[in-house]
Amino acid sequence: MPRYIGKEMSRVDGVAKVTGRAKYAAEFRAPNLAYGFIVLGAVAKGTIKSIDTGGAERAPGVVRVFTHLNAPRLGPKASHEQSPPRAQEEKDKSFRALQSDRIYFNMQPVALVVAETYEQARYAARLVKVSYNAERHSTDTEAVSERGRFPSQGPPPKPRGNPEAAMKAAPVKVEAEYRIPVEHHNPMEPHAAVAVWQGDRLTVFDKSQEVYNVRKHLASSFNVPEENVHVVSPYVGGAFGSSLRPNYYPALTAMAAREIKRPVKVVYTRTQMYTGHGYRPHTIQKIALGAEASGKLTAMIHEAVHNTSTFEEFSDNTTGFTRQVYACPNLYAPLKITDTDLNTPTWMRAPGAVSGMFALECAMDELAYALKIDPLELRLINYAETDPESGRPFSSKALRECYRLGAEKFGWKQRKMEPRSMRDGRLLVGWGTATGIWGAFQMPATARITFRADGTAHVASATSDIGPGTYTVVTMIAAEYLGLRPEQVKFELGDTDLPRAPAQGGSWTTASVGSAVHGAALAVAAKLLALANREASSPLKGAAAADVEMLDGRLRLKADASKSVSVADVMRRNHLAEITETFEARPSAERRKYATMAHGAQFVEVKVDPDLGTVRVARVIEVTACGKIINPKASHSQEIGGVVWGIGMALQEATEIDHRYGRIMNPNLQHYHVPVNADVHEVETLFVEEDDSVVNPLGVKGMGELGMVGIPAAIANAVFHATGRRVRELPITPDKLL
């Protein structure tokens, strides 16, 4: 029986966070620090005609003003200067600031003002005067959706079966278009970097989901060896994908610091965050579903197009999960991308999946009504027993259990099919459901454990904890397999001095880093066993590493706990104060024989004011099948977070662009609405655990994205059920329900 795994545990970083001691990027101190403030451009496309920095340079406290005219070149070459078609030899096409006079998007950085104080830098930034040669821009994805092309990565999508013929022959069909606007992550912590040079060595305190990637980016930016760059990011105040890529500010900050030979701090303003990193792309989707009268799907055609920038390709893989969620012999699910004069989009929580599944799961609801079959029943009818795309078995899949248990718990049986048929006083009540799906990914990751004779352990891996509770869950795993108490384990992350770990994204952290920590702990035990068995009197003679476990300072036989040795004694006799083991966990070959996915069923109750069009998400039940749950408390919080994000996406969030100027007009939190406390009501989670020895040694699948995937569709479906109004364009604001 595990002591910690599967039991709820409060966050080990909790005290640091509730007392204000947890340090985020902008909070690190460095001597002689100067403050940088970014100046944003005012046209969407063109070139900088002239830039007058005189006023800013003369302003009190200003140390220097950087523009494309005096900023050093960053990187082997300024990759964004290559206009399409792109040179294939350069992989990193990410935008780097102040590299030329070319304007690629509105609110692009055009200068950096560095001053002695923040107030001085912010003011002087207003004094930089820029004029432009504006060119005709195009920022409206709707207007260029016809110009979509297949992403160059990967082969062009192939149809399964004969979707067109099957669609033609289908007795029941639905066809509709769905629209998702640009959305922004808006983590609460603005992106920030503090850069300090010591000769040719650079230390950057950054907000990052992948410190190694920032290191690589900085090393290439400044043409220094990667070993010279130290990136530190112990706490990340939310990111949701916005810190997966390095973004332009760390290099900009380090450039300024190098030039003025002083540490520099740059913090995005909330407004700067809207073009300082990517965003969820504007996505237009056309779905056609064909079915037999029984409800059996016979054809699925899911065509998506979303925008990217003119200088870099981004694909959200919007239609990927459509291929794997329902059994259907005929399918075509292509994704195209189209250029706009906006910054490059990026991954945003549940990327692709939540967009694609919003369209697909709404279409399934529409099909259910066309067929007069209960929407949940329709999903069960089309249940995929094996992966419809590859034909491979699932390593585990308890989705049917999720559907049934969720329905039971929610009281789905009481649902009347007819829209507008359920009420609570004057409010219309609607119940909706949708399927959640995400991959059970694993990436190569390395962890190091130093086990000390005093019964404490230091665990290290350069992963990140943007909020899911990685500090805690890794501590639990290490404690479990080293036989220690959690307080005897110290886990350190977010630092390029530590062993390499993948980005915290894709919900793969526990599977990847957890497996590495597990492996390192077993390696410690194996080392101890070998040491113990050098002694003639060892009671563990003949035991293999797999036969033993560590517990409370002893190494013992799993099968016979009375056969054990004191770990401290073994180490003392070998004159060892500590044992250090490093382990790299890689996805197993076995995984390739299976489809490895996490699933969930999501049930939503909305209450709609029929007069005012306001929607309240009164009740949500998340039923989740994602392998083994390590810390149900934090996992539940992930599910809640997914629901809150789903509420935002379904009802509130949209980045508004005035296409006349190609400019984002709500780059703030007063006009870009995210859910507040009063928007969130009951959220419950049921965990359906799966035994899965294929996905990884811990049997875990990720859940940070999963809990969000079906929510926008479930809400939209519930709104339809409540009101009879099918809103296919997000967000569903009150004006759309009048």
Q: Using CB under 8 A, which of 466, 598, 608, 727 touches other proteins?
A: 466
Q: Which region among 97-105, 162-170, 376-384, 446-454 touches other proteins (by CB under 8 A)?
A: 376-384
Nearest-angstrom CA–CA distance, 118 and 268: 12
Q: Using CB under 8 A, which of 134, 526, 568, 640 touches other proteins?
A: 640
Q: How many residues of this chain interact with other proteins, rule: CB under 8 A?
A: 148
Q: Write out the two tokens for 242.
A: 């916005």
Q: Which CA distances in Å does 126 have to 111, 209, 514, 520, 677?
A: 11, 32, 48, 53, 35
Alpha carbon 411 to chain centroid, angstroms: 32
| Minimum CB distance to other proteins smaller for 331 or for 459 | 459
Tell me: does residue 671 bind other proteins (CB under 8 A): yes
Q: Write out the two tokens for 705.
A: 């994205």
Helices 353-371 and 711-723 cross at an angle (nearest 10°) of 30
Contact criterion met (CB below 8 Å) for 732 and 430: no
| Minimum CB distance to other proteins smaller for 91 or for 413 | 413
| Minimum CB distance to other proteins smaller for 305 or for 649 | 649
Tell me: does residue 628 bind other proteins (CB under 8 A): no
Shortest distance in whole angstroms from residue 541 CB to other proteins: 35
Would you tell me how many other CB atoms lie within 10 Å of the CB of residue 545? 13
Site string for other proteins, 468-497 (x = CB under 8 A): xx-----x---------xxxxxx-x--x--
Sequence-distant (6+) residues with CB within 8 A of 252 are: 36, 38, 66, 96, 97, 98, 109, 112, 266
| Minimum CB distance to other proteins smaller for 360 or for 373 | 373
Q: Using CB under 8 A, which of 169, 380, 526, 576 touches other proteins?
A: 380
Shortest distance in whole angstroms from residue 621 CB to other proteins: 10
Interaction residues for other proteins, span 258-297 (CB under 8 A): 259-263, 267, 269-270
DSSP states along 637-665: HHHHHHHHHHHIIIII----EETTTTEES
Torsion of CA 272, 273, 278, 282, to 10 degrees: -90
Tell me: does residue 688 bind other proteins (CB under 8 A): yes
DSSP states along 369-429: HHHT--HHHHHHHTB-SB-TTT-PBBS---HHHHHHHHHHHHTGGG--SSTT-EEETTEEE
Q: Which region among 210-218, 279-287, 327-335, 671-679 touches other proteins (by CB under 8 A)?
A: 671-679
Nearest-angstrom CA–CA distance, 683 and 604: 9
Interaction residues for other proteins, span 429-448 (CB under 8 A): none
Shortest distance in whole angstroms from residue 242 CB to other proteins: 10
Nearest-angstrom CA–CA distance, 629 and 627: 7
Site string for other proteins, 701-720 (x = CB under 8 A): --------------------
Shortest distance in whole angstroms from residue 703 CB to other proteins: 12
| Minimum CB distance to other proteins smaller for 259 or for 313 | 259
Q: Strands (DSSP E) along 457-596, which ranges?
A: 457-460, 489-492, 548-551, 554-557, 564-566, 578-585
Nearest-angstrom CA–CA distance, 277 and 286: 28
Nearest-angstrom CA–CA distance, 125 and 431: 51
Nearest-angstrom CA–CA distance, 373 and 492: 52
Site string for other proteins, 393-432 (x = CB under 8 A): -----x-xx-xxx-xx---xx------------x------
Q: Which region among 80-88, 116-124, 569-577, 712-720 touches other proteins (by CB under 8 A)?
A: 116-124
Interaction residues for other proteins, span 172-201 (CB under 8 A): 185-190, 196, 198
Q: Which region among 48-56, 144-152, 541-549, 636-644 touches other proteins (by CB under 8 A)?
A: 636-644
**Residue 627's closest CA among 713, 706, 723?**
706
- According to DSSP, residue 512 is labeled I
Shortest distance in whole angstroms from residue 717 CB to other proteins: 15
Interaction residues for other proteins, span 96-115 (CB under 8 A): 115
Q: Using CB under 8 A, which of 48, 112, 166, 236 touches other proteins?
A: 236
Tell me: does residue 55 bind other proteins (CB under 8 A): no
Shortest distance in whole angstroms from residue 465 CB to other proteins: 8
Tell me: does residue 627 bind other proteins (CB under 8 A): no
Q: Which CA distances in Å does 643 have to 317, 618, 627, 650, 713?
A: 22, 12, 20, 10, 11
Q: What angle do CA 403, 508, 590 make, to 5 degrees?
A: 85
Q: Write out the two tokens for 372.
A: 């007069």
Shortest distance in whole angstroms from residue 23 CB to other proteins: 5
| Minimum CB distance to other proteins smaller for 152 or for 294 | 294
Tell me: does residue 666 bind other proteins (CB under 8 A): yes
| Minimum CB distance to other proteins smaller for 236 or for 694 | 236
Sequence-distant (6+) residues with CB within 8 A of 325 are: 357, 360, 384, 388, 435, 437
Contact criterion met (CB below 8 Å) for 461 and 498: yes
Shortest distance in whole angstroms from residue 614 CB to other proteins: 7
Kindly tell me the burial class for residue 136, based on how many C-beta atoms sit within 10 Å of its own C-beta (0-12, 13-18, 19 or more): exposed
Interaction residues for other proteins, span 334-373 (CB under 8 A): none
Q: List alpha helices for 50-155, DSSP H.
A: 54-58, 118-125, 141-144
| Minimum CB distance to other proteins smaller for 6 or for 444 | 6
What residues are paired with 556 via a beta bridge?
549, 564
Tell me: does residue 313 bind other proteins (CB under 8 A): no
Q: Using CB under 8 A, which of 682, 691, 693, 724 touches other proteins?
A: 682
Shortest distance in whole angstroms from residue 681 CB to other proteins: 8
**Residue 352's closest CA among 709, 717, 732, 650?**
709
Nearest-angstrom CA–CA distance, 272 and 122: 13
Tell me: does residue 686 bind other proteins (CB under 8 A): yes
Q: Write out the two tokens for 652.
A: 């509130």
Tell me: does residue 729 bind other proteins (CB under 8 A): no
Q: Write out the two tokens for 738.
A: 């009048």
Interaction residues for other proteins, span 21-50 (CB under 8 A): 21-24, 26-33, 40, 42
Interaction residues for other proteins, span 118-137 (CB under 8 A): 118-120, 122-123, 126
Tell me: does residue 517 bind other proteins (CB under 8 A): no
| Minimum CB distance to other proteins smaller for 202 or for 353 | 202
Catalytic position from the list 189, 639, 653, 705: 705
Residue 729 bears catalytic tag = no
| Minimum CB distance to other proteins smaller for 151 or for 734 | 734
Q: Which region among 228-236, 300-308, 355-363, 522-530 touches other proteins (by CB under 8 A)?
A: 228-236
Q: Using CB under 8 A, which of 165, 370, 546, 669 touches other proteins?
A: 669
Q: Write out the two tokens for 469.
A: 């509770």
| Minimum CB distance to other proteins smaller for 298 or for 475 | 475
Shortest distance in whole angstroms from residue 424 CB to other proteins: 14
Tell me: does residue 18 bind other proteins (CB under 8 A): yes
Which residues participate in catalysis according to the annotation? 705
